[in-house]
Amino acid sequence: MNRLGEMYDELPENVELMDAGVGGLDILNMLEGASNLIIVDAVKGIGDVGSVHRLSADDVKNAISKECISIHDISLADVLTIAEQVQEMPDRLTIFAIEIEKADEISVDLSEKVKDSLDIAVKLIFDEISAMKAC
């Protein structure tokens, strides 16, 4: 989030950065009224530490082990399922997840492998924003 914030001037004027903190049901507010939404989160258990995954809502909801997708008290899969039941979903929803080393520790400090992947993640997010603008 900080890296994206540093590059905020490069974002189109109709793009808003919001920090959901640890997520949970607060994400429902972000989903409401959004036509396009990108969620960036940490993930544990679907790849090598530092790898960046581009996922759809269906990828998250259909994960073999939903625990591997979420490090929060309520999984993103559960939040998306609830959202589909109670409100209109964005036309386009993309999740970028960066694989972390430890999901059982709460820390704002990033491992070196995760830090090394931030530029890749930011480029993928900017590419996704450009693709959304083209639609």
| The two three-digit tokens of residue 128, written as one number | 């996704």
Collapse the DSSP code of 37 into the 3-class scheme (helix H, G, I; strand E, B; otherwise coil) and give the result: strand
Predicted pLDDT at 104 = 65
Predicted pLDDT at 16 = 77
Q: In angstroms, rounded to a whole number, what is the distance separating the alpha carbons of residues 65 and 47?
A: 13
How many independent structural domains does the chain possess? 1
CA atoms within 13 A on the CB side of 72: 18
Predicted pLDDT at 8 = 57
Residues 91-115 as b/e (b if ≥16 CB within 10 A, e otherwise) read: ebbbbbbbbbeeeeeeeeebeeebe
The pLDDT tens digits of the residues spanning 24-58 come to 788 888 888 888 889 888 888 888 999 999 999 88
Residue 90 DSSP label: P
Contact of 123 with 94, CB cutoff 8 Å: no
Residues of the chain with pLDDT under 50: 64, 71
Q: What is the CATH number of the domain that holds 104?
A: 3.40.50.1450
Predicted pLDDT at 31 = 83
Expressed as residue numbers, the domain containing 119 is 2-134
